[in-house]
Each structure stands twice: as C-alpha cells, then as structure tokens.
Chains A and B, each alone.
Chain A
Amino acid sequence: SQQGEEDPQALSIQEGENATMNCSYKTSINNLQWYRQNSGRGLVHLILIRSNEREKHSGRLRVTLDTSKKSSSLLITASRAADTASYFCAPNYGGSQGNLIFGKGTKLSVKP
C-alpha cells in the first residue's frame, strides 16, 4: 500500500507537553502533507513539505522530512487541550493524478 503509516496510533499527553507523531511511506514522493481532524469535522490542512525540503515550521508546528528513510515527523510544542484531534499524514506521489493517500492517523488527546 502507498498510504502513509502513522505512529503511534494514539497518544495522550498533558497540556504544555510536546507531542511527536511519525509517518512512514513506501516510495518516492512529490510532497507530504499533514492534516488535522477534530471529532466529527472535516480535515484541516496543517503543512505541506516538498521532497527537497527537510524542515518546515508553522507556529507551534514543526515538520521534518527524511527522504532517505522515507519518514516524516510532526512536532506540536506546548500543546493545548484544543490540539486534541486526529492527525493524518498523506504522501503525495505526484504524476498525472497526484492524489493524497491517507493512513489511519494518530489520535492525540491533550489533557488540561
């Protein structure tokens, strides 16, 4: 399967702690995208990192990409209760279609 595989499947932390989620994929990508989904809602785009980039930041989010290991990580610093959600990585393999292939996600719970 070409979907991203997130790890861990579930993560529970206290408010203020950092949360790290990992993603592995199988073949060469055009880019890799991270999305958040709050319970019962649509997906919200967080960060797109291209295959020639190694690190990207957006506010409290930091994404890294290691194409040699075919892996990416999402770090959320100083987590808040509002960060409680499912997080999905989606490799984009480019080509004529270039659609996203989602894994099962990491369910993050941030306790106040």
Chain B
Amino acid sequence: EAGVAQSPRYKIIEKRQSVAFWCNPISGHATLYWYQQILGQGPKLLIQFQNNGVVDDSQLPKDRFSAERLKGVDSTLKIQPAKLEDSAVYLCASSLRSGTDTQYFGPGTRLTVL
C-alpha cells in the first residue's frame, strides 16, 4: 500500500513570496490533515478535511494560509505572503475514517523563508 505522498520535499523562498504544497493521501482515506511543525516542537494541526469538507481550521492563519481538497482526494496548502516565522516542516497525514483513527504521515515539506 502506497503511503502519503508530499511534494516538494524542500522549498526556499523569500518573505512576502507565495508557496504551495501538495499532498496525496492513502487511497480510500476520508480524512486529511495538514500540520505545521516548527523546529523543536510537536506538530500543530492547521486544518482537517473530512472528504472535501473542512472539519477544523481553527488554527489556520486565514489571512495568509489557504487549503483545499480537490474532489476529496488530493490537497494543496498555500501560503501567501510568507513570513519568516512560517519556516517549518509542513506535514500531511490521512486516516481511514474519522479523527479518532490512526493517522499516517507523509515525509513532510521543509520550508525555509529568508
């Protein structure tokens, strides 16, 4: 079974530029998550999708971050414009049904904002 795929693996941009990350969850998984992990910290949930609907985006900085899940499968997370403090690893995860299930994580995208 293929795991969660993410791209790109690394991205370096200047502040005020925009960036987008892509995630392809495990086939058949209804729930998709985006996490932000700052160095030395645990992952923090940004947004949770159930199929193509948003379940929780309470910690998503909506003035600069946006996310969508196309047709309930792939998802993209965008930052526009980026700030220095957005430097982090962005992790995508998926689970079979609901938020109480085991989550399977992708390798992450390491973003550096200069």
Contacts and interface: CB of A to CB of B under 8 A. Distances in A.
B33 A102 contact: no
Contact of A97 (B55, B106, B107): B55
A104 interface: yes
Interface in B51-76: 55-56
B44 A92 contact: no
B100 A98 contact: yes
B42 A103 contact: yes
B83 to A, nearest CB: 23
Given A42-B105, A42-B106, A97-B48, A92 B41 contact: no
B108 A41 contact: yes
Given A42-B106, A100-B99, 4 more contacts: A43-B43, A92-B100, A100-B103, A101-B45
Nearest to A40: B110
B42 A99 contact: no
* Interface majority SS (helix, strand, loop, mixed), chain B: loop
Contacts of A3: 42
Contact of A45 (B91, B104, B107): B104
11 contacts: A31-B100, A41-B107, A42-B91, A42-B106, A48-B102, A90-B42, A96-B55, A97-B99, A101-B45, A102-B44, A104-B41
A43 B102 contact: no
Interface residues of A, number: 26
Interface in A1-23: 3
B98 interface: yes
A88 interface: yes
Given A102-B42, A103-B42, A33 B99 contact: no
Interface residues of B, number: 24
Interface of B: 4, 33, 40-45, 48, 55-56, 91, 93, 98-100, 102-108, 110
B87 to A, nearest CB: 14
A45 B103 contact: yes
A97 B108 contact: no
B42 A42 contact: no
Contacts of A102: 42-44
